[in-house]
Amino acid sequence: MLIRKSPDVRYSEVTPKSLYLNRRKFLAGVPGAVLAGNELLSPSGRASAATTKLQTVQSALSTTGERINPKEYVTGYNNYYEFGTGKDEPQQLARNFKTYPWIVTVEGECAKPRKFTIDEILKLAPLEERVYRHRCVEAWSIVVPWIGYSLSTLLNQVEPNPKAKFVAFETLYDPKQMLSPLQAGIPLPYVEGLRLDEAMHPLALLTVGMYGETLPPQDGAPVRMVLPWKYGFKSIKSIVKIRLVGGQPASTWNLYAPNEYGFYSNVNPNRDHPRWSQKTERRLGEFGRRTTLMFNGYGDQVASLYKGMDLIRNY
């Protein structure tokens, strides 16, 4: 669960340990993995926590004009409750997380349901590097060079039918590798959802890497979503199932605290969290605060998705 601190000290104000302890860079659990033609290979034939280089093409959808956060800040400061509720815990507790082989099942209201291996996902389309702002509901933000391609590329492979109105996502839950729901403080497996038009939007990034490499375990390896106009908890990690459905699906934080975490979870500085303001944010590595931008600055691209909606009520 989100740890509740006294009103004058909260997570959104805590300086990352990486800034004052000069934390070492994340060390690969199994060295020597390579990527051949965007096919993930491990020297032992088993899972590897090592990141591997990815071949990418430039994307016209990148955020421009902002400094990218150093990799150490992003890999050492995470929300991944299956591997700990502290920001620095996932980096350590996920070190041996098995991410290969990996299967993503895509099913539901579609003509061609199927299972995709991670190697098939890596080769389905050219991998784009997209620099996106990423805004956490706890009022901190980062700028990251993510790698992937639009989720619509994958969904088009299964041909959604007219009954498909929403997309439901599910994270792997393996009690042998992860904390229990009691320890994590939230129901598991972690689930999320989008409207179909949101999921088909070009900015919705099916993500397989960052900083030129495959994702490290604590950042959602081997495949996750990145939705730059929504709060970070919508960008579900370590996906194993995608379902096309007719009704609004469940989402973990909305189930846990519906008064605090809405289904849409668009970045909206005019809709405060019940326990803190969303009007400003702290970029990791900076000590001042920035003004939070509507839709995290992506309004020109996504505002039309919500035309006519009450964005205070539909938070």
Query: How does pLDDT run across 257-274, given as a tens digit for each residue?
Result: 999 999 999 999 999 999
Question: Domain 11-293 falls in which CATH fold?
Answer: Sulfite Oxidase; Chain A, domain 2 (3.90.420)
Residue 49: its pLDDT value, please?
57
Domain definitions of the chain by residue range: 11-293
pLDDT lower than 70: segments of the chain: 1-49
Residue 289: its pLDDT value, please?
97
| Cα(202)–Cα(150) distance, integer angstroms | 5
| Cα(261)–Cα(48) distance, integer angstroms | 34
| Cα(234)–Cα(207) distance, integer angstroms | 13
Residue 50: its pLDDT value, please?
77
Local structure of 94: helix, strand or coil: coil
Residue 54: its pLDDT value, please?
98
pTM of the predicted protein model:
0.86
DSSP codes joined into one string, 258-287: TTTS-SS-B--TTS-BTTB--SEEEETT-S
